[in-house]
Copies of this chain bind each other. A is one copy, B any other.
């Protein structure tokens, strides 16, 4: 028995059942140990960004931590962007990063790199195993860290000799530490603030897809407050049957209008809204300067307890049909292909309780009106702003929810970052339908360039934003995967795969 074997046994004993993997040479003993335990489901991704994005999507839809198997420093670098997105989604991810045998690190082997440095730049928790006999307990600590504070990025660095040297036994991850809660006075003050007409309760986390949403709705209804959610979130319920929660917008001026005149903005499961970027002449935050901001419960605190405590102060109103999105399926559209009609077509045909991974970026704006009218579904959005999250997240969501249809709405620019995930979808036989919106350029950059006041576009801009020099034509080529046929026949004919 060696350290790698104790690691796999510890992961299994701690409830880890899935390992998204892109192994390299320094992980061979870990790989051999995984091979002895077919009860761990190992899923190969052909690029580490696919690994980390899949672990993110898996956590978003299952609430369970998956392990990743990543190659030392540069392999982890490839996973970095989707770990960033996972971090911003408050997803728990357990990375196992291989490394050289510790005694080999004083020589300049090609793959020697700053494993700790690159990990710490995105992980909440990083540890290097220093004794083979501690692999098990370190792994248990890592699992606990990944589950702590509602979900963290935890990275365990495993030098090759810690994996291959003899070790015995396994450990079990202790439960995550209790979540921090607001003080009673803070609850009381927030409740008083929410009773003011026009006050807003801004919620995120499981409130947006679990029964906590009902609780939040009942207490804000009792208080007469507005219930809102950020624009980019890990997961939210949308379509028929969803609790009505106002969604904030992408751009700061729209959010300034939404929040204008609110006497109080109470945060529960989120932090103060901020612009996606700063722009000259615009504030960083959209809240009204006269609004009282109450940072009641951050994303890593006890959100459920906090809502319950608020409800005890404010009471809970009965909910009626007006508090839920009612069935309003759009008809199958006809005529010229537009993005709005694609949104309607997806909504009309999407089965109940689907998972929609939305990385349409500039297209998403036009798709949203249709999708709001779809059957009830979970929507996952790009929390960290680093494109390339969509296809990998869909892999993880489909692994977590094998009985649900997963639909990815994907920009062509975004899709190019992590298109290797298409292979994993096919290989694992995942029920994923991918829609690519091919405007053949970075349309969002054209929009952003206009937003910072640049009007002239010359050779270098047109060379850096994509092959087209022209503006967004309003629709694009659609490429289809999977079994669901969303498009009317006529569109399919103009949009060959």
Chain A residues packing against B (C-beta within 8 Å): 21, 23-26, 28-29, 31-32, 34-38, 40, 42-44, 46-47, 49, 69, 71, 73-75, 77-78, 80-85, 88, 100-101, 103-104, 106-111, 113-114, 117-118, 120-122, 160-161, 164, 232, 271-272, 274-278, 280, 284-285, 382-386, 388, 413, 416-417, 419-420, 423, 427, 442, 444-445, 448-449, 451-452, 454, 456-461, 463-467
Contacts and interface: CB of A to CB of B under 8 A. Distances in A.
Nearest to A98: B277
A35 to B, nearest CB: 4
Given A28-B451, A107-B285, A113-B384, 11 more contacts: A23-B442, A25-B445, A31-B449, A32-B452, A34-B460, A34-B464, A35-B459, A69-B464, A73-B121, A109-B275, A117-B120
A92 B481 CA distance: 42
B454 A28 contact: yes
B74 A38 contact: no
Given A47-B417, A161-B278, A122 B114 contact: yes
Contacts of A81: 74-75, 77-78
A46 B74 CA distance: 19
B460 A284 contact: no
B161 A463 contact: no
Given A78-B78, A80-B78, A31 B111 contact: no
A64 B276 CA distance: 36
Which 6 residue pairs spanning A and B have beta carbons closest together? A77-B80, A107-B274, A117-B121, A74-B386, A74-B81, A101-B278
Given A78-B49, A459-B35, A280 B164 contact: yes
B464 A44 contact: yes
A50 B284 CA distance: 32
B74 A274 contact: no
Contacts of A423: 416
Given A47-B417, A277-B100, A420-B416, A383 B28 contact: no
Contact of A38 (B78, B104, B459): B459
A80 to B, nearest CB: 3
Nearest to A8: B460
A278 B463 contact: no
A384 B35 contact: no
A154 to B, nearest CB: 16
Contacts of A442: 23
Contacts of A37: 460
A106 B272 CA distance: 10
A47 B108 CA distance: 28
Contacts of A280: 161, 164
Contacts of A85: 74
Contacts of A101: 277-278, 284
Contact of A278 (B23, B77, B160): B160
Contact of A77 (B120, B122, B444): B122
B160 A277 contact: yes
9 contacts: A28-B451, A29-B452, A44-B464, A77-B84, A104-B275, A107-B271, A109-B284, A160-B277, A416-B420
B274 A75 contact: no
